[in-house]
Chain A
């Protein structure tokens, strides 16, 4: 925030740097949330496919997290964490909530992937002598991934955008930085356009790479 110590009120190159830095923070918290949340989500998805009892109880919990708006989860968690003795800064609190949020969505995607592979295919794999993990690694993973990859990309892009909500905890990511600059410069349209362009620049490589990958698989 050193850059804002110059009390220049128009939009300057420094401000662009400031937004760029904030975009990196958006990227950082999103990449962490997406990668950790995806790993957890995959295991949750596996658990969902194990038994009906697990699917029901776990499924209900996941439904709760998916139906309560992220912004409410963020505020609740940030304010309740100190009560249970967790001293978290906005980044940590935001990251934890985003990870949980991502895992809930990825869990459903993963379950869809496992179902797409299907019991008969897995029995065929097991009948060849593969153990549970070999079946997962060499059959369920590659086949299921191809089936639900577009859905996973959708979740990832969603998390990237939804990470903007972490700004209400005071973490200065792209949206928060834009708000700060807008208050100072009063140039809302310009700054929001730049912020939008940054979001696009962060998302586009993901969609581009995803499409390429899907094309390669479909050959």
Chain B
């Protein structure tokens, strides 16, 4: 589903990704952990084509994302992305937030776009907020709104970039529950996360990023239970504190 080979990415002089090789198969949930600045967000931006790459290849669903003849806008329709900041469109109601992209990007008739939007909002448990504005929602609700907005494009995979780290602790649970629900439904996902418990429980595999390379990747029991890399051991002991 997602095949990354020999990926290099720099911002000007700063080399951030230094040779990433990674395959994510259909229906797999991969969590990405690692310390701040190790390049986790950058990886997601590259997969999504929001950042150009210097070397290597990213294939998503048989399309080479960074090939010059690739239409990034249509690639992105197959890939939902949820950011740390929920970025709800403040001038639109909850329902319109979700219906906007189906209407203008997928060019669906308005009624159909609204129908899809309503379905996805119920899916994430916001069925009773349709006509509210985002400013009337809690952070957790806005993050679920962002998830619904991405799902409304009926993506084949989802990328989560620390979807819960800007939330108050008591709101983290509801968002994780929503992501868990998607995992159970078989959505292919890459989740950058600081929630080790979540990574352990939901993921099929966990990748540990360190200074722009995948230092260790394994099933959660092994990766958390018997970390091989010294950096990972250090990282985990710091997180546990």
Contact = CB atoms under 8 A, between A and B. Distances in A.
B105 A124 contact: no
A130 B75 CA distance: 11
Interface string B75-117: 0110111010101011100000000110011100000000000
A121 B87 contact: yes
Interface in A102-154: 120-121, 123-131, 134, 138-139, 142-143, 146
Given A139-B89, A143-B91, A146-B91, A128 B83 contact: no
A121 B87 CA distance: 5
A127 B87 CA distance: 11
A124, A134, A217: residue with the most chain B Cβ atoms closer than 10 Å: A124
Contacts of A127: 48, 50, 76, 79-81, 83, 150
A138 B50 contact: no
B104 A134 contact: yes
Contact of A129 (B74, B89, B90, B91): B74
Given A120-B87, A138-B100, A143-B91, A128 B146 contact: no
B50 A129 contact: no
A128 B97 CA distance: 11
Nearest to A217: B91
Contacts of B150: 127-128
A134 B101 CA distance: 10
Interface bin, chain B:
20 to 34
Contact of B105 (A130, A142, A143): A130
A130 B73 CA distance: 6
A128 B48 contact: no
Main secondary structure of the interface of B (DSSP, over half): mixed
B66 interface: no
B101 A128 contact: yes
Nearest to A122: B87
Contacts of A121: 87, 89
Contacts of A129: 73-74, 76-77, 101, 105-106, 153
B83 A130 contact: no
B149 interface: yes
A165 B90 CA distance: 41
Most buried by B among A125, A126, A128, A146: A128
B101 A130 contact: yes
B95 to A, nearest CB: 15
A131 B153 CA distance: 14
Contact of B104 (A126, A130, A142, A217): A130
Nearest to B80: A127
Given A130-B101, A130-B104, A120 B89 contact: no
Given A139-B89, A143-B89, A217-B91, A126 B153 contact: no
Interface centre among B87, B146, B150 (most CB of A within 10 A): B87
A115 to B, nearest CB: 15
Contact of B76 (A126, A143, A146, A217): A126
Interface in B36-60: 45, 48, 50
A126 B50 contact: yes
A130 B74 CA distance: 9
Contacts of A138: 100, 104
Contacts of A142: 89, 91
Contacts of B91: 142-143, 146, 217
B146 A124 contact: yes
A35 B105 CA distance: 30
A142 B93 CA distance: 13
B76 to A, nearest CB: 4
Given A125-B89, A127-B76, 15 more contacts: A120-B85, A120-B87, A123-B87, A124-B81, A124-B87, A124-B146, A127-B79, A127-B83, A127-B150, A128-B100, A128-B149, A129-B76, A130-B73, A134-B104, A143-B91
19 contacts: A120-B83, A120-B85, A124-B146, A125-B89, A126-B50, A127-B79, A127-B80, A128-B76, A128-B77, A128-B100, A128-B105, A128-B149, A129-B73, A129-B74, A129-B76, A129-B77, A134-B105, A138-B100, A143-B91
